[in-house]
Structure 1
Amino acid sequence: MTLVKALPATQWKIRETGNKELENSLSKEFDIHPIISQILANRDLAGIEGTRRYLNPSLSDLHSPFLMKDMKAGIQRLLKAIHNNEKIVIYGDYDADGITSVVILFKFIKEIGANVTYYIPDRVQEGYGLKNKAIDKFKDNNVNLIITVDCGISDYDQISYARSLGIDTIVLDHHAISGTLPPSVANINPNREDCTFPFKELAGVGIAYNFLIALRGSLRKEGFWKDENYPNLKEYLDIVALGTIGDIAPLIDENRIFAKIGLELIIAGKRPGIRALKEVSGIEGQIIDSFKASFCLIPRINAAGRIASPLDAVALLLTEDMEEARTLAGKLDIYNRRRQSMEKIILNEILEKISNNPDIEKINALVFASDKWHPGVVGIVASRLVDLFNRPAFVISLKDGIGKGSGRSVSDFNIYKGIEQCASLLLSYGGHCHAAGISIKEDDIDEFACLLDEIIIDSGQFSDLVSQTIIDSECRLKDINFSLVNQMQMLAPFGSKNPEPVLCARNIKVSSPNIVGNNHLKMHLTSNGMSCNSIWFAMGGYLNKIADTHVDIAFTPQINQWNGSSDIQLKMKDMTILL
């Protein structure tokens, strides 16, 4: 089922021209186009020096990891385990953030000779977080220390149980904190109120990477590497970038540094697992940006944890053998195709329900449940619903009267704080501002949906359900040239809180629209003697509406490379048909 909205499909909001003096200073200092300086000035980058750091991300700009509360205690406990040859287990989540966190921690700690293994629970059989049955296995195997990554901060009872068995725990987690901290040796989470680390929006893998920086520094002080030939942590950033981008962490501050350098390493393709993943994704030899990582590489990593075994993804990123990497990448590709098929079936079923509901426009929270849906793909479907209807959504998989659901939200509503107010109806919950997971009795789902709807209304955080397109600057077609587009790439990588710039041009003539590929709308655009090709992804439904019209357009210019030649193509975001 395809939805075709009226044009414009979104509400346009044009950023006001801000500090002209700053814009002029930026243009002069960095020799950049006025449009680029306007975009930078509006991104609140703390003046010339802040802009310089933004344009030139460097590992030297990382904050000290020891600013994180409990970092010193966590490192000291791990050093003790390493020196005493204690058994260590790294316990992670089954999504891309958790998988990459496990990989970098295991790889580093294993390579320095420690007695370490890893464990990721099965999504369906075990579920999210630390479990007592797993702890019992660790006890039977004489494990002394558990390091949780991308989970653990909400596992008070389980960590208490581990402690009663003589097993210590170090928690590395970025999720929102609710209630009492668990009795761990260290609870390392920038979201702690008593944590002075200045950047609060790291993904789990970003916290794990900071932990490794602190660990390596402590080992160097001890003289652990006699020849000073210590591991180069920069080489881990391709993996860190995948986890950071995959968790939709804001690409600012440390996350921007990780993503920028990591994507360069992904393009270089030295790691066999990532090279094989690029091959099976059909993007070998291409420039890999945050979008290609998000839509080609990361879904295959996530698919392993969603519908099969996340251990295949861990093995892929750890292997040094190219043939093994190709075999594992092939398995992940098969998982991803199965995931896509499941997702399509669930989404179409929900869209059918929505089309038959005359009151859908009055509903602020979309909540759907079924015992036919695989719990591993409900989060993706929730994301698609948010994209389509611009309101928070929960999709719940039912089994034996219990629902496991994933929620996603719009930027204006903190979904974690929302479900906190529904705690009396939930068996368990966790997450952060844009994504959350819940466990709920089937009989309580309708009441949960009604309560969440009321909470959204009462929040007053967004008054309507119309998606917005934020326009960074107005321009003319003749302003768009290779120099401008290349300068725009200096702002990459793009993602949450560092969006791809969107420009607006007025009174543009549309000609020769046609559908290419998977329902993509290709058009030729003309204004005042200047012309340009454009592409509007997945918007073939507008074909008959726009032929030979004049329009205002919202777009991002990009360089399109094809058969050895390059031209400028406008990637459409929205348009208004002029009467």
Structure 2
Amino acid sequence: MKPAEIRRRVAVDCGHAWPVHLHPILARIFAARGLAPGDVKQMRLADLAVPSALGGIERACDLLAAAIAADQRICVVGDFDADGATGTATAVRGLRQLGARDVCYRVPNRFRDGYGLSAGLVESLADVAPDLILTVDNGIASHAGVAAARERGIGVVVTDHHLPGDTLPDADAIVNPNLPGDGFPSKSLAGVGVVFYLLLALRAHLRAAGAFAGRAEPDLSVLLDLVALGTVADLVPLDANNRILVEAGLKRIRAGRCCAGIAALCKTAGRDMTRAVASDLGYALGPRINAAGRLDDMSLGIECLLTDDAERAGELAERLSAINQERQELQSTMVEQGEAMVTRFIERYRDGALPYGIVLSEPDWHPGVVGLVASKLKERLHRPVVACAPVGEGSSEWRGSARSIAGFHLRDALAEVDATCPGLIARFGGHAMAAGLSLDEANLPRFAAEFDAVARRRLDPELLEHHVWSDGELDAVDFTVDTAQALRYAGPWGQAFPEPAFDNVFEVESWRAVGERHLKMRLRFPDRAEALDAIMFNALEVMPPPSRLRAVYQLDLNEWNGRESLQLLVRHIETI
């Protein structure tokens, strides 16, 4: 494998002056992300795209308003990831705020029910007997489930953000910004974002009908902490619309106005709510919610987000943290096995013949964690990776989770495999960067060959070159706590709007291993009196570090005893 190459982002010259109050480094960073001076303004909820632009939303509001007026039972059917959990909690809380008195929820069990609104899940709803089903973060591919519900006289409103197939389910209403011809300007809404928009539209619909006469209109902004968490955790691109949603949610969290569950999750994760940023949601809170759906029952995560009892939220957050610890240990073992397989791949194929699209499988892998394994190995190989595991011990049905690199659309690739080899894949769905599928164990070898063939047709070899992106060098005067704080809160940073990273040459004054896998260093920089503290996680491959190196790093703030100090978070090292 060729080592990663450092590349610097190029700032786009927009021909206009940046605001004088803007830190010059931030101006450089924003320009490199395609923003113009006019785009740098306070993120206001008033600047969100209007809900009425979402196709199908009027019909969905008609159905929900009628259900509320008739005191019908509404069952929210969610998904077993953080986006689905936050979306389910948002839907349940929001519908109750808007006057629905009979709202329940159900999330499929990953191992028993599979994904989405299946016919089996509809059958299991006999005990709650809903009049109307509202899907969140699923449903766009649930043809059988929607048909089963309609046969039982149950209405179905689908809210989803996944890409549709060639045909749509026969639902009573579908709200999805990614439907062909839909005019909504932000195609990157997460599932929780779609249902939040539906709630906004429903409030306007009820307002016009006079439903709030004599009482205060519900404040749906109280749901934005949930919207922020689900949006960041689902790794959807943080376009301008999503950044507004996430920043609004983060402001609620920092102000201590979030729900009891998010507050409890912050506490168990050791994160200071008053300093919360998007990475806290993505790396600390999101995995704890996700762990419930991967190894246990996502209802634990949803209940944590629904309860208003701080003590109950704390108990649930502790249980989620314990499950997440179990997930981390299981994932670590699976990643080690996967890395050993990757090493054998590299030794067997070398650079020239390594598959473009890689499929890995092990009979003792856990199907709830294969997505994380695929993600880790994708980062190492910089190629699309599908990790597969049996649904249960001795089962011939295997589940695969896929992660991709820029330039390779996973769902389209799986659709091509399905079109070329009908019946090879039983089911599939997802996004450009992440997807899931199921297939028979006997089809694994052929699927691996077909997936690689599609990747070879669709991927330019240049896209397989691994690049580490930098926003350029910093000067000695830039290594300050003030600069780090300005960068920290200038986001929110995330998918498709990456956190600033820089590269410079340093002398290594000293180093030591921390916890066997991590590297702690003191780096000397020209024209700076004091050396800089730096840490690099999972740095076994660069220990011991060279005496002189070029590092790609982020300016980080290390808090200890109430004081903040500057620390470099090193992402990549090159020997000079």
TM-score by length of 1: 0.93
Q: Which 10-residue stretch deviates more, 299-308 or 363-372?
A: 363-372
Q: Relative to 1, partners in 2 of residues 1:555 and 1:447: Cα closer, same or farther, differing over 3 Å?
A: same
Letter in 2 for 1:450: A
What do the CA deviations read for 1:50-104 (whole angstroms, capped 9, x no partner)? 222xxx2111011111111100000001111111122211111111001111101
Q: Tell me the equivalent position of 1:78.
A: 64
Q: Report the CA distance between 1:431 and its aligned residue.
A: 0.3
Q: Does 1:252 align with 2:250?
A: no
Within a 5 Å distance, the mapping from 1:542-557 to structure 2 comes to: 542-546=542-546, 549-557=547-555
Give the distance between the partners of 2:20 and 2:221, measured in 1 at CA: 27
Q: Report the CA distance between 1:486 and its aligned residue.
A: 3.0
Q: Which 10-residue stretch deviates more, 353-362 or 120-129?
A: 353-362
Superposition CA RMSD, Å: 1.9
Aligned partner of residue 464 in structure 2, secondary structure: coil
Within a 5 Å distance, the mapping from 1:211-230 to structure 2 comes to: 211-230=198-217
Q: Tell me the equivalent position of 2:157.
A: 170
Q: Relative to 1, partners in 2 of residues 1:509 and 1:77: Cα closer, same or farther, differing over 3 Å?
A: same
Q: Does 1:184 align with 2:178?
A: no
Is this contact kept in 1: 2:256–2:273, CA < 8 A?
no
Q: Tell me the equivalent position of 1:138.
A: 125
How many residues are paired up?
Answer: 561
Q: Tell me the equivalent position of 1:408.
A: 403
Q: Does 1:445 align with 2:444?
A: yes
Q: Report the CA distance between 1:139 and its aligned residue.
A: 5.0
Q: Tell me the equivalent position of 1:15.
A: 9
Give the distance between the partners of 1:179 and 1:292, measured in 2 at CA: 38
Letter in 1 for 2:6: W
Letter in 1 for 2:388: I
Give the distance between the partners of 1:20 and 1:78, measured in 2 at CA: 46
Q: Tell me the equivalent position of 2:365.
A: 373
Letter in 1 for 2:396: G
Is this contact kept in 1: 2:520–2:535, CA < 8 A?
yes
Is this contact kept in 1: 2:12–2:34, CA < 8 A?
no
Give the distance between the partners of 1:353 and 1:540, measured in 2 at CA: 18
Give the distance between the partners of 1:285 and 1:486, measured in 2 at CA: 16
Q: Does 1:65 align with 2:30?
A: no
Q: Does 1:88 align with 2:80?
A: no
Q: Which 10-residue stretch deviates more, 77-86 or 285-294?
A: 285-294
Is this contact kept in 2: 1:412–1:462, CA < 8 A?
no
Q: Tell me the equivalent position of 2:219.
A: 232
Q: Relative to 1, partners in 2 of residues 1:30 and 1:164: Cα closer, same or farther, differing over 3 Å?
A: farther
Q: Tell me the equivalent position of 1:418.
A: 413
Letter in 2 for 1:59: L
Aligned partner of residue 359 in structure 1, secondary structure: helix
Q: Tell me the equivalent position of 1:460.
A: 459
Give the distance between the partners of 1:138 and 1:543, measured in 2 at CA: 55
Q: Report the CA distance between 1:493 and its aligned residue.
A: 1.5
Give the distance between the partners of 2:161 and 2:273, measured in 1 at CA: 34
Letter in 1 for 2:551: I
Is this contact kept in 2: 1:240–1:262, CA < 8 A?
yes
Q: Tell me the equivalent position of 1:477.
A: 476
Q: Report the CA distance between 1:490 and its aligned residue.
A: 4.2
Q: Report the CA distance between 1:343 and its aligned residue.
A: 1.1
Aligned partner of residue 275 in structure 2, secondary structure: coil
Q: Relative to 1, partners in 2 of residues 1:276 and 1:141: Cα closer, same or farther, differing over 3 Å?
A: closer
Aligned partner of residue 426 in structure 1, secondary structure: coil
Q: Report the CA distance between 1:284 and its aligned residue.
A: 4.4
Aligned partner of residue 544 in structure 2, secondary structure: helix
Q: Tell me the equivalent position of 2:433.
A: 434
Q: Report the CA distance between 1:12 and its aligned residue.
A: 1.2
Give the distance between the partners of 2:568 and 2:127, measured in 1 at CA: 60
Is this contact kept in 2: 1:39–1:473, CA < 8 A?
no
Letter in 2 for 1:468: H
Aligned partner of residue 491 in structure 1, secondary structure: coil
Q: Tell me the equivalent position of 2:28.
A: 38
Is this contact kept in 1: 2:225–2:249, CA < 8 A?
yes
Is this contact kept in 2: 1:536–1:572, CA < 8 A?
yes
What do the CA deviations read for 1:3-57 (whole angstroms, capped 9, x no partner)? xx98xx52111123431743xx11xx24223332122122222x332222xxx21
Letter in 2 for 1:75: C
Is this contact kept in 2: 1:413–1:462, CA < 8 A?
no
Q: Does 1:125 align with 2:112?
A: yes
Give the distance between the partners of 2:336 and 2:540, measured in 1 at CA: 18
Is this contact kept in 2: 1:35–1:473, CA < 8 A?
no
Q: Report the CA distance between 1:541 and its aligned residue.
A: 4.1
Letter in 1 for 2:560: W
Q: Tell me the equivalent position of 2:499.
A: 500
Q: Report the CA distance between 1:332 and its aligned residue.
A: 0.9
Letter in 1 for 2:303: A
Return 5+ residue gaps in structure 1 as ranges: none
Q: Relative to 1, partners in 2 of residues 1:441 and 1:504: Cα closer, same or farther, differing over 3 Å?
A: same
Letter in 1 for 2:50: S
What do the CA deviations read for 1:322-377 (whole angstroms, capped 9, x no partner)? 22112111211121111112212211222222323423541222212233222111
Aligned partner of residue 391 in structure 1, secondary structure: coil
Letter in 1 for 2:475: R
Letter in 2 for 1:538: N
Q: Report the CA distance between 1:272 and its aligned residue.
A: 1.7
Q: Which 10-residue stretch deviates more, 132-141 or 73-82?
A: 132-141
Q: Does 1:532 align with 2:532?
A: yes
Q: Report the CA distance between 1:495 and its aligned residue.
A: 0.8
Is this contact kept in 1: 2:523–2:533, CA < 8 A?
yes
Q: Which 10-residue stretch deviates more, 338-347 or 259-268?
A: 259-268
Give the distance between the partners of 2:495 and 2:278, measured in 1 at CA: 11
Q: Relative to 1, partners in 2 of residues 1:269 and 1:519: Cα closer, same or farther, differing over 3 Å?
A: farther
Q: Report the CA distance between 1:238 and its aligned residue.
A: 0.9
Q: Relative to 1, partners in 2 of residues 1:474 and 1:421: Cα closer, same or farther, differing over 3 Å?
A: same
Q: Relative to 1, partners in 2 of residues 1:483 and 1:351: Cα closer, same or farther, differing over 3 Å?
A: closer
Within a 5 Å distance, the mapping from 1:289-304 to structure 2 comes to: 289-304=277-292
Q: Which 10-residue stretch deviates more, 402-411 or 563-572?
A: 563-572
Q: Tell me the equivalent position of 2:521.
A: 523
Give the distance between the partners of 2:335 and 2:367, measured in 1 at CA: 13
Give the distance between the partners of 1:44 and 1:354, measured in 2 at CA: 36
Aligned partner of residue 131 in structure 2, secondary structure: strand
**Percent of pairs identical after alignment?**
31
Is this contact kept in 2: 1:241–1:259, CA < 8 A?
yes
Q: Report the CA distance between 1:253 and its aligned residue.
A: 1.8
Letter in 1 for 2:81: D
Q: Tell me the equivalent position of 1:100.
A: 86
Q: Report the CA distance between 1:165 and its aligned residue.
A: 2.1
Within a 5 Å distance, the mapping from 1:309-324 to structure 2 comes to: 309-324=297-312
Q: Report the CA distance between 1:469 and its aligned residue.
A: 1.2
Q: Report the CA distance between 1:200 and its aligned residue.
A: 0.3
Is this contact kept in 1: 2:83–2:191, CA < 8 A?
yes
Aligned partner of residue 337 in structure 2, secondary structure: helix
Q: Report the CA distance between 1:470 and its aligned residue.
A: 1.4
